[in-house]
Amino acid sequence: MSDSELILSFDTATTNCSIAVTSGDALSGRVLGTVSFESGVTHSRRLLGSIDWLLKSLDLAMGDLSALAVGLGPGSFTGLRIGLSAAKGLCHGTGIGLIGVSSLDAIGTRVVSDKLICAVLDARKKEVYSCFYRNQPERPENGAVRCGEPSVLSPQELAGLIDEPVAMAGDGVHVYSDVFAAALGDKLELRPRIRWPDAVQIGYLASAAYKQRRFLDIDDAGPEYVRTSDAQLSLVSPLDREQQGNN
């Protein structure tokens, strides 16, 4: 089977693993196939098997693909490492280019609203990952674009940053819905159907990078953790940690 610009995409940042094959962008592209499943936060047992199943069901081989796009996070540290390692292995084995897409972007850019848009993922430890977006009034058909950078905050701190009507999406909204409702009142609009990073949206977002040949260095590419991992913290001495906290 042949087609132009076939992109395999997947995201393992959350307990939901999403995989898709797309062609083109959100304006004029199409979905050839998609599969998603819940398997805890690692997805180590089912990711490669599900990719193989999806490609075979579409009568495709890895060599038929133009590129591979992977959600870079933020999210589960273990899930992100597994996803990126699988992506690197597949790209090394086939020679196709690797494209990285923010897992928050895969949520926020799906929301269509004239309000401020906020993508929220549960970061555990009573914190959330978040990023803000806006639809462009002059070109609403192009979807939402970032108007900030990803951050990790308590849900109360995030709510404190919002002083206008907002449409919120992502699993973090479900976990802390009471907090956001109490803090934002009638300014809050929930988008409960947009809960997880979607591989279809990752493929659509990767289309522009593919056309511009903006590929990641396969050996150097890393996840977008946003928050320092416990493994990284363990390498910092108690004195350095105390000095960082005082800065």
- Render pLDDT for 122-149 as a digit per residue (tens, 0 to 9): 999 999 999 999 998 766 556 799 999 9
The percentage of the chain sitting over the pLDDT mark of 70, rounded to a whole number, equals: 88
Neighbouring CB atoms inside 10 A of 150's CB total: 22
Whether 207 has a pLDDT exceeding 50, the answer reads: yes
| Interaxial angle between packed helices 47-57 and 77-94, expressed in degrees from 0 to 180 and rounded to the nearest 10 | 50
The mean of the pLDDT values for the chain is 90
Complete domains list, the chain, with CATH:
6-103+197-228 (3.30.420.40), 105-190 (3.30.420.40)
Query: Parallel, antiparallel, or unpaired: how do β-strands 166-169 and 116-124 relate?
Result: parallel
In this prediction the pTM is 0.89
- CB-hemisphere CA count at 13 Å for 212? 8
Distance of CA 71 to the CA centre of its chain: 5
- Look up residue 72 and give its DSSP letter: -
Q: Could you tell me the two tokens for 106?
A: 């895969």
**Which of the two residues, 106 and 40, has the higher pLDDT score?**
106
Provide the pLDDT confidence category of residue 98 given band limits of 50, 70 and 90: very high
Q: Say what the pLDDT of residue 40 is.
A: 59
The percentage of the chain sitting over the pLDDT mark of 90, rounded to a whole number, equals: 82
Neighbouring CB atoms inside 10 A of 82's CB total: 19
Q: Which of 55-59, 121-125, 147-151, 241-245 has the lowest mean pLDDT?
A: 241-245
**Which of the two residues, 240 and 175, has the higher pLDDT score?**
175
Whether 3 has a pLDDT exceeding 60, the answer reads: no
Dist CA 4 CA 223 (whole Å): 28
Q: Say what the pLDDT of residue 139 is.
A: 66
Q: Say what the pLDDT of residue 43 is.
A: 81
Tell me the mean pLDDT in the region 112-131. Answer: 97
Whether 8 has a pLDDT exceeding 70, the answer reads: yes
Dist CA 188 CA 26 (whole Å): 26
Residue with tokens 């936060």: 41
Whether 232 has a pLDDT exceeding 70, the answer reads: no
User: Are the C-beta atoms of residues 170 and 121 closer than 8 Å to each other?
Assistant: yes
Tell me the mean pLDDT in the region 162-190. Answer: 98
Whether 96 has a pLDDT exceeding 70, the answer reads: yes
Which string of DSSP letters, residue by residue, matches 125-178? TTEEEEEEEEE-TT-GGG-EEESS--EEE-HHHHHHT--S-EEEESHHHHHTHH
